[in-house]
Amino acid sequence: MERLLNFIYEYRAFFTFLLLELSCAWLVIENNQYQSTKYFNSSNRLAANILGFSQGVREYFSLRTINEELSYENAALRTQLEKKNQQIQGITDSARLNQFEYVSAKVMSNSTNLYKNFITVNKGAADGITPGMAAISDAGAVGKVKSVSEHYAVLISLLNVDEQVSSVIKRTNQFGSVRWDGLNMRYSNLLFIPRHAEPMVGDSVVTSGYNAVFPEGVLVGIIRAVNLKEETPFWDIRIELSQDFGRLAFVEIVKSRLKSEKDSLERITIGDPK
């Protein structure tokens, strides 16, 4: 026993090193798993305030574009309102009518050039935001909420190699998944479109609504290149993301009122998700 202790003491630097590296590795692996409420990320108040200050300085240089975007968004919202008004006649189920509620949030920090990009926004649990909700902008899909604190939330961006969004080609109704490859912040890939489908350059790709996280039909991107290799069962499809993540200033977090109902129904019939 004494020799063992002596041995450990002699190599204490190495053992400390192992211990620290193992705990780091554990943190890395654990963080890769989806959705959680954590304290040690940019949603904690001090970190978010510091990042918000940095973003605030940067925003002075892009006030003009932000203003333009806001006015576009206003216009888009007005047309949407008009459309909704016309749809309302005929639907009587008020839960269905108010299925989605939108919370507008300001971007505090955003990265686009890592492999795993995250966005911090200034709305959190106090505004009813929980992990798993979708985030969209007027241009299109942005991401999902990964973790929340009282007043801030961290979104997992579409520019994250771990993130997949169930999507559909609008023209042909073929289902697939959009996943980023880590290379160019303007382009992403649409996976799992089978050989017999006929995707074309210029088709729009929208969210499918199968997962009830995103509302159905939110624009994700436009197909820019299609390619079918001899041996693969699926098409290679490259899409241009409709949201330019380099200029993201405001997002809307989508609260889905019917999600829990849909989930619990599916759990009863299909069983727990893996």
Q: What residues line the site for other proteins (CB under 8 A)? A: 12-13, 16-17, 20-21, 23-28, 30-32, 38, 40-42, 44, 47, 50-51, 53-54, 58, 109, 111, 113-116, 118, 120, 154, 161, 181-183, 185
Cα separation, 238 vs 112, in Å, equals 18
Residue 45 or 195 having the CB closest to other proteins: 45
Least distance (Å) between residue 37 CB and other proteins: 13
Contact partners, residue 227, CB within 8 Å, separation at least 6: 235, 236, 237
Least distance (Å) between residue 252 CB and other proteins: 21
Residue 102 or 115 having the CB closest to other proteins: 115
Least distance (Å) between residue 43 CB and other proteins: 9
Q: Which of 147, 140, 10, 134 is nearest to 72 (CA)?
A: 140
Q: How many secondary structure helices (H) and strands (E) does the chain include? A: 6, 12
Residue 118 or 235 having the CB closest to other proteins: 118
Least distance (Å) between residue 271 CB and other proteins: 29
Say if CB 251 and CB 155 are below 8 A apart: yes
Residue 43 or 207 having the CB closest to other proteins: 43
Say if CB 208 and CB 168 are below 8 A apart: yes
Residue 24 or 225 having the CB closest to other proteins: 24
Cα separation, 252 vs 136, in Å, equals 5
Least distance (Å) between residue 179 CB and other proteins: 13
Say if CB 169 and CB 187 are below 8 A apart: no
